[in-house]
A = this chain, B = another copy of it.
Amino acid sequence: MKFTVKQIADLLGGEIEGPGDLEIDKIAKIDEEAEEGSICFLANQKYENYIYQTNAAAVLVSKDFIPKKPVKATLIKVSDPYIAFTALLEEYQKILNQLKSQSKQGIEQPSVIGADFQAGDQVYIGAFSYIGANCRLGAHVKIYPHTYIGNNVTIDDHTIIYAGAKIYDDTLIGKHCTVHSGAVIGSEGFGFAPQADGTYKNIPQLGNVILEDYVNIGANTTVDRATIGSTLVQQGVKLDNLIQVGHNVVIGANTVMAAQSGVAGSSKIGKNCIIAGQVGIANSIQIADYTTLGAKAGVNSSIKQEKTVLIGAPAIDYKNFLKSSVIFKKLPELQKRVEELEEKIVNLTST
């Protein structure tokens, strides 16, 4: 696909400085060797030097950008180059997706589809997919190859399930969700009751998982089914890769969690929280809305105050943690200072 610089500038509502008829067929980063025919953006002053060297055909810049040296590329001046660039990426993806969805339609063979199956318009089911009994797919749903879907599963409009995801029985998935490869939704949670002889007995896990609309589940992330009731991932939640969500957990709307974090059984996370990578949240606790947890935080008690920012294990106030960490590094010195004080005191009291 090729577009002229002018076409792109018009799309983004930008002003052109330089020739508008050059053809663009690639999107690039300014800090790499952007090739001829590519477009990139300059948002951060520290990359300014690159603009004087780039071979890119066009660069998105801020309205108030004034070059200090000659620039070979055509400038497209916009109010926010990063936002404009993102908009461009989106347009580009939209076209790609359109091309993709034209090709990805229908039911590839071999695939297995159980009894009482219902599907909306323009559904894609990839080869080697297995769909159990009594399932319902909305319109425009795409099920990539090797996907396993158990019985009584509903997947609503425009949701994409990538190759090899595994969806156990009774799962409900909303509209516009994305479930990446290797994710396991609805497997049996870790419910084992200790017996007098030291062995453990399985506690049946009879509930299900509900993913509301606009939820993203990363690759190889696992969301356990509830013991009773539902494990609930609310609207707009974005879970990164390799995350563990225990049975009966609730994750509030628009909360984002980075890779390798985990939430133990029955905990309830508020809405609009930001949870960094490798965070651990203990079982049966509550986390208030708008909480931010730093990377590797370990939370073992409820957070009641909204907008709290914590880090560390056990998690404490973020600024406090930073200060304490600086001193942790100097503990040998601090200990020595205490020793010296002790000596001095001894000297003082003995004189």
Contacts and interface: CB of A to CB of B under 8 A. Distances in A.
Interface stretch (A8-16, A57-65, A342-350): A342-350
Contacts of A325: 314
Contact of A220 (B182, B236, B254, B296): B182
Contacts of A342: 337, 341
A262 B264 contact: no
Interface stretch (A67-75, A116-124, A237-245): A237-245
B187 A219 contact: yes
A296 B198 CA distance: 24
A228 B33 CA distance: 12
Q: Which of A192, A203, A278 has the most CB of B within 10 A?
A: A278
Given A130-B127, A324-B332, A334-B338, A238 B163 contact: no
Interface stretch (A17-25, A47-55, A85-93, A134-142): A85-93
Contact of A328 (B222, B328, B337): B328
Contacts of A316: 329
B86 A193 contact: yes
A238 B323 contact: no
A300 B337 CA distance: 29
How many copies the complex holds: the figure is 3
A307 interface: no
Contact of A254 (B166, B199, B202, B334): B199
Given A331-B324, A348-B349, A200 B126 contact: no
Interface in A84-117: 86, 89-90, 92-93, 96, 108, 110, 112
A238 B198 CA distance: 12
Nearest to A197: B254
Chain A interface extent, by class: 35 or more
Nearest to A145: B130
A37 interface: no
Given A192-B256, A258-B264, A335 B334 contact: yes
A214 B320 CA distance: 45
B244 A241 contact: yes
Contacts of A206: 27, 89, 92-93, 96
A76 to B, nearest CB: 17
A331 B317 CA distance: 13
A38 to B, nearest CB: 10
8 contacts: A96-B206, A148-B164, A181-B184, A198-B272, A218-B222, A222-B241, A222-B259, A280-B295
Interface of A: 27-29, 32, 86, 89-90, 92-93, 96, 108, 110, 112, 126-128, 130, 144-146, 148, 150, 162-164, 166, 168, 178, 180-182, 184, 187-188, 190, 192-193, 198-200, 202-204, 206, 214, 216, 218-220, 222, 224, 227-229, 236, 238, 240-242, 244, 246, 254, 256, 258-260, 262, 264, 271-272, 277-278, 280, 282, 295-296, 298, 300, 313-314, 316, 320, 323-325, 327-332, 334-335, 337-338, 341-342, 344-345, 348-349
